[in-house]
A and B are shown apart, each in its own frame.
Chain A
């Protein structure tokens, strides 16, 4: 359907490849990526360096116009980009790089949506616990008219049931994007550990992890950038809205799996249960940081139906997908492992999520503040 993909995706890709194959001497193109004022959107711009940076230390700070990204006023608009993680560029290839950056205001204080700084402090403070995370990013593919990709115009596909992990053109919508995204992430050095088709047709999931500490959030943000960029090439859109379609259709979350060294060792289940106990006392505090709108977005998703827990209650259970926290069956049997917090929305900021979990489980007292 012609209107479903963007005009740009119809430009001649053979021609593009001729240009992208041009040798570039010793120069290196470095694309700086940052989170904008919405706390959900990603921005990027590119510069030339005279040679390939070997590590993050070789990449200079930069700046940008914050008044154009909802981050500052025009009269005092300069904001700083501080490189924090470097990846290979899967679009224009080696030696070129993607660089995730933190944003600082003109006075070098963190920008409002720079949640990485405080997350990093918390991770440093709990380093000896070796906290591992795995985050399951769900998303939905949309056509340019913002309706789910390949859904009949003005209508709906068959009800959910046949789509989860399916195969076949009648059940699977847009696998090309998923395959390309996976390869691009592997090339870039993102710790992508899996993908699957999700319950709603056109909905997919990829998982990033296991990563220690801040890495999970860095890798997840860049994996999101790569997803948007791959979709841009194909002329489609990826949405992380937690409830893209109202009614009897699944929402999208970012289930977060967590473990500490103690939880992973013999008898670790005890520590898992302690952590869940602590989490149970701070349910509302977590909900308020599990989406970019203080919980308003998640209200549309956490209804208690469609494999979610109700947003008002905290619950947990072994193998229970209707609970806030699920302990995998295997973990219950082995007596050690990890737990899954199913509350974060697909459009959450992983820095905020990881920080909240570590604060509650490892830093606060019993009823913690």
Chain B
């Protein structure tokens, strides 16, 4: 039935979705785990429309609003967010603080059960949550907070999927070059049946062409989510700088940036969390799978725009070309860093068609969307600016991507392994 082979990573935290099929979750260290999610609280599925939304979405939002408006005295709810053992999934839990934290220093360390998030064994399961970046909470509103955390093992070493620690070290080394990033996050909205939202059940919409930046119910599928996400990010303090409908129907993109250094990874992860949370509220699912539908349908990437102070100044094109030269010699190193499976996910997406470059070859060109690296036309003309690395997959870890760019372009590393400093 439908797309039972579709694998998607969702934030599996206490969901009440009405999923009537088995969802295959790839668990590190296991071949395949088939997991049936817990039965729904209430059977509320739009019966005349197989584009199912979740049971949660049917709960009364008016009732909810009455409770959400209750004053809470001086107490503050801080929701701690972290990346789980898959390197793609996000987890969260909340605690009450006695007063509003003014900065990250006011937020205490915490811990959680790593054996429940693919991160540790049951016999030694405590893991540490170290607050790293704080945002306003667009769901519970002020004075409540969202807190992005790094995860440490019981021995205070970073977990396998804590790529922030290493990224931060590298960013520190090149601080005076002021590296700016802008990342274009593509994603697909799915119904809880795993089929793209708004697509006819058991079928496909008309071919790609009319959907990119489209308007109209036959072209834009799910704009409500996009609008809600944009406002939520603005409120939270995430550096969201734009949105547009993408080439495949039900596919969208938002851009975060320009942001300096480590903040790129922080802001993008929190923007992803907010997206999952908004979709959860509406009863649909956001997928960052790089090739959600096989065939003549676009994949989803995370094009990464990059510049340094030197590139942005007069004559900066020279520095841009130097960087591209270095990237050209280290293609496979970057490909391994650009999705959570060392390039296996991207292999389904980077085919050389659908505005991608081929995964086996490195290429660069002005205004060329079929190349690995694109130099925007205006940059070519002004002889300064930034360049766009089109290779990262939608489900990449932005810490890994930004770290790789710094290592190769600014620290002039070569070869298949990162240098130890």
Contacts and interface: CB of A to CB of B under 8 A. Distances in A.
B235 interface: yes
B137 to A, nearest CB: 11
Interface string B213-241: 11111111111110111111011000011
Nearest to B220: A232
B217 A18 contact: no
A11 B224 contact: yes
B367 A78 contact: yes
Contacts of B198: 6-8
Interface string B22-54: 000000000000000000000000101101010
Contacts of A117: none
Given A22-B235, A65-B212, A92-B231, A75 B365 contact: yes
Given A8-B217, A11-B224, A70-B209, A63 B376 contact: yes
Contact of A237 (B48, B214, B218): B218
Interface stretch (A23-31, A252-260, A340-348, A354-362): A23-31
A270 B289 CA distance: 68
A235 B378 CA distance: 38
Interface residues of B, number: 60
Given A92-B227, A237-B217, A2 B365 contact: no
Contacts of B419: none
Contacts of A5: 217
B49 A7 contact: yes
Nearest to B58: A12
A44 B355 contact: no
Interface string A2-38: 1101111111111110111011110101000000000
A63 B378 contact: yes
A68 B212 contact: yes
Interface stretch (A45-53, A129-137, A155-163, A204-212): A45-53
Contacts of B51: 7
B235 A63 contact: no
A76 interface: yes
B57 interface: yes
Nearest to B216: A228
B61 A12 contact: yes
Chain B CB within 10 Å, residue with most, of A15, A228, A238: A15
A229 interface: yes
Contact of B367 (A14, A20, A70, A77): A77
B370 A74 contact: yes
A41 interface: yes
Nearest to A72: B367
Contacts of B224: 8, 11, 13, 16
Nearest to A238: B216
Interface of A: 2-3, 5-16, 18-20, 22-25, 27, 29, 41-48, 63-65, 67-70, 74-78, 91-92, 106, 144, 146, 225, 228-229, 231-232, 234-238
8 contacts: A7-B221, A11-B53, A11-B222, A14-B65, A45-B213, A67-B355, A69-B213, A77-B367
